[in-house]
Structure 1
Amino acid sequence: MRQHRAGMAFILITLLLDVIGLGLIIPILPRLVIDLTSSGAAQAAFTYGFLVAVYALMQFIFAPVLGSLSDRFGRRPVILIALLGLGINYLLLALAPNLTWLIVARVISGVMGASITTVNAYIADISTPQNRAQNFGLVGATFGLGFILGPALGGILGAISPRLPFYAAATLALLNWLYGLLILPESLPPDKRRPFSWHKANPLSLLQLRIYPIVAGLAVAFVLLGLAQRGLESVWVLYTTYRFGWLELQNGLALALVGVMAVLVQGFLLRLIIPRLGERRAVLLGLTISTVAFLLYGLAYQGWMMLAVIVFTALGVLRTSCDLCAGRRMCAGRRMLQSSRGW
């Protein structure tokens, strides 16, 4: 039991540092693209969108691969290799002299970021039926805290030097790796490990979702939601800089507001709204709010309007009750559903 508590504490610290590291570079990476390509906002948006697509493609391909490797060799080595790889990725971004370095770094980041499936498996390994919901709830809270601190720190550091957030993210990742090397226990005993299976590691195994109609429908919803969300992320910093003259600090604080609102809604409002509306109506309400919010982002003509839409958009996380539907109805499709997010 003590080992499980140590493992859970490490995973939460790992996720916090990982999300902070990711958040650190979000307000800055588009600026780096502009600097390295010497292009305008339109061309930079295309290039940055390509980098986002590369990252997502690597996650889609390698999420099931890393999951199967962790089933064969244990969770600990996969998580540690991923942390080391993320540290190298951030260093490459900090030192990048040209676009090729950025592409290589995003490939590494996508591959190593696919280890989120292994992290989820680790939590499942050390959880009991009594504390599973609590443990995954702590994971959600940790993500929210990381997305508050990361963009805010990224904006502050980016205002000092455009490369400083990348060095900070690399430092966090490498310290996290060292901490795990010394502290992290293995969660999957040898007698529960399974041979590596290329069939399960094949991302096209998502086609098996057709035998789980409910999970298949949720996977399609996640793909469409991810497409919209990644599109917004690809142009956010470039758009607000071009339209409102926002710099790194303003963008970082605005993105931190996204994290604050997500924590408030997920931590407090969801537990009030879902029992009253039910999961299906809550999902539909969240999707409707998200659709309206995307339109409002496009119509906003002053910076404060974007902040108001962020507050309104927070209610769109009601759509994440899809996760509850998936976990409640078909646990067997969990890994395939996670992989579908990479689309």
Structure 2
Amino acid sequence: MFVYDHEKNSEGRFFGLPIWKRNLAFCWFGMFVTGIGMSQIAPVLPLYIRQLGVHNAAEIAQLSGVAFGVTFIISAIFSPIWGSAADKFGRKPMLLRASLGMTIVIGSMGFASNVYALIGLRVLLGVITGYSTACTTLIATQADNAHAGWALGTLSTANIAGALLGPMIGGFITEYAGPQNVFFITGSLMMIAFLTTLLFVKEDFRRQEKKVLHAKEVWAGIPEKSLTITLFVTSFILTVALYSVEPIITVYVTQLSRGTGHVALLAGLAFSASGLANIIAAPRLGKLSDRIGAQNVILVALVIAGILFIPQAFVSNPWQLIGLRFLFGLTAAGLMPSVNILVKKITPGALTGRIFGFSMSAMYLGTFSGSVLGGQVAAWLGVRYVFYSTSALLLINAVWVYYNVYKKLNKNEWALQKANGMERSK
């Protein structure tokens, strides 16, 4: 296994703290707000599209799906491009570009005159994203190896929690302030993220290679290709698992509640429970990855997460579902930090931004695919089969990780320890 030294910016101090810790705090806020900005529109779309003059129920559903999904498809395309730009020009300029761009675009959605303008702005939002990629690359290259797991674990909670809590926040603002104010409030938060990034995020960027690498050259520069692909697929499947229940959660909670009321509140709690669990568990599991190895945490988390989806199909009331969703979030919290730790370790420093960009693309595709998978499986087979199919995906991925990541890396580490022992004995 190849392990590369990255930028050693963590030695500097800023207001009494290592620079990377200050950057982590401000990047966390920016990524959390970005996650909200990308996902808060989900419960708002049907209401806003109706307000924009579309009244046919089938047309509203169709246009809502297009408007929500197009952002993530476009983001998947552009995320590696912005990752490449981060490697060339620095991560802070990419943070400023993305946060200011999202401020303008999300705020403009509140002024959309028709549904096609709204969809166009959603496309533009997908083009200008890249905040999360730049943040992850910045912290991965600044944090020292002893704290990388904790740092990336903490950072991963921001994006996932923002994305999972976004629909609930969007629904709450819509309920009390109207759908237009969702865009104005989120745009204002993004402006705060832009200003804090401008004033407080510090980077001593030194470009490591002058030649512009094309996609084939980037791929040729990755030493562990099979391992890298496995990590990308794991990112994709984790995000599919997180979002597969989104289209069916309200329907399922309605069935479970049997007319007791508060369906919207219970559905919001069920969807957001895994996000709350992520916030609690990800830094701790990231720290655990530093101690016992990221490959060990990935394998165990995948197996437990896959098993936890099965009882969700057999619950008899919404509170049991909420509890199981929370437990799933606790286990899923160990996956993304561990994936990012391994990506950092096996990637040459000059390619870090581009590889994290591809990883983020896999997550964006997973968000879109998870929503589509959940809706289609529920429509053809029934709601409970969404949980069976998602469980199968996670467990199949666990088998692949066992052979392609767990066994390979543990074998390499054992060989390295043996070699070091022989050197000491001499």
Query: TM over 0.5, yes or no?
Result: yes
Question: Which residue pairs with 1:197 in the alignment?
Answer: 212
The 1:145/1:228 distance shift into structure 2, 3 A limit, reads closer
Deviations 1:23-55 (CA, angstroms, capped at 9, x unpaired): 644442354345544243x65454333334322
1:141 offset after TM fit, Å?
A: 4.2
- Asked if the contact 1:87–1:173 (Cα under 8 Å) also holds between the matched residues in 2, the reply is yes
Which of 41, 49, 52 is the matching residue for 2:65? Answer: 49
2:13 equivalent to 1:2: yes
When normalised by structure 1's length, the TM-score is 0.76
- What are the ranges of 5 or more consecutive residues in structure 2 without an aligned counterpart? 1-11, 366-426
- Asked if the contact 2:151–2:283 (Cα under 8 Å) also holds between the matched residues in 1, the reply is no
Task: Give, in whole Å, the separation in 1 of the partners of 2:63 and 2:107.
Answer: 20
Question: Which residue pairs with 2:225 in the alignment?
Answer: 212
> Root-mean-square deviation (CA), in Å?
4.1
Question: Which residue pairs with 1:341 in the alignment?
Answer: 363
- Whichever residue aligns with residue 337 of structure 1, its letter is S
1:69 offset after TM fit, Å?
A: 1.2
Question: Which residue pairs with 1:115 in the alignment?
Answer: 131
1:168 offset after TM fit, Å?
A: 0.9
Task: Give, in whole Å, the separation in 2 of the partners of 1:64 and 1:152.
Answer: 29
- Whichever residue aligns with residue 300 of structure 2, its letter is A
SS of residue paired to 1:169: helix
Task: Count residues with an aligned counterpart.
Answer: 334
Which of 48, 51, 54 is the matching residue for 1:32? Answer: 48
2:104 equivalent to 1:104: no
Task: Give, in whole Å, the separation in 1 of the partners of 2:104 and 2:264.
Answer: 24
- Asked if the contact 1:125–1:188 (Cα under 8 Å) also holds between the matched residues in 2, the reply is no
Deviates more, 1:124-133 or 1:52-61: 124-133
The 1:25/1:17 distance shift into structure 2, 3 A limit, reads same
2:340 equivalent to 1:320: no
1:186 offset after TM fit, Å?
A: 3.3
Deviations 1:121-174 (CA, angstroms, capped at 9, x unpaired): 211333223333332233134446646865554333221122222211011012
- Asked if the contact 2:76–2:362 (Cα under 8 Å) also holds between the matched residues in 1, the reply is yes
Task: Give, in whole Å, the separation in 2 of the partners of 1:337 and 1:7.
Answer: 21
- Asked if the contact 1:7–1:185 (Cα under 8 Å) also holds between the matched residues in 2, the reply is yes
Question: Which residue pairs with 2:182 in the alignment?
Answer: 165
SS of residue paired to 2:110: helix
The 1:89/1:7 distance shift into structure 2, 3 A limit, reads same
1:66 offset after TM fit, Å?
A: 0.7
1:80 offset after TM fit, Å?
A: 0.7
The 1:131/1:222 distance shift into structure 2, 3 A limit, reads closer
Question: Which residue pairs with 1:179 in the alignment?
Answer: 196
| Structure of larger gyration radius | 2
Task: Give, in whole Å, the separation in 2 of the partners of 1:226 and 1:214.
Answer: 19
When normalised by structure 2's length, the TM-score is 0.63
Aligned residues with identical type, % of pairs: 22
- Asked if the contact 2:91–2:138 (Cα under 8 Å) also holds between the matched residues in 1, the reply is yes
Task: Give, in whole Å, the separation in 2 of the partners of 1:90 and 1:247.
Answer: 29
- Asked if the contact 1:155–1:250 (Cα under 8 Å) also holds between the matched residues in 2, the reply is no
Question: Which residue pairs with 1:285 in the alignment?
Answer: 303
SS of residue paired to 1:97: coil
The 1:137/1:254 distance shift into structure 2, 3 A limit, reads same
Task: Give, in whole Å, the separation in 2 of the partners of 1:137 and 1:317.
Answer: 11
2:325 equivalent to 1:310: yes
Question: Which residue pairs with 2:87 in the alignment?
Answer: 71
Task: Give, in whole Å, the separation in 2 of the partners of 1:279 and 1:115.
Answer: 27
Which of 128, 147, 163 is the matching residue for 1:131? Answer: 147
The 1:301/1:34 distance shift into structure 2, 3 A limit, reads farther
Task: Give, in whole Å, the separation in 1 of the partners of 2:130 and 2:23.
Answer: 20
The 1:186/1:265 distance shift into structure 2, 3 A limit, reads closer
Question: Which residue pairs with 1:86 in the alignment?
Answer: 102
The 1:63/1:292 distance shift into structure 2, 3 A limit, reads same
The 1:300/1:237 distance shift into structure 2, 3 A limit, reads same
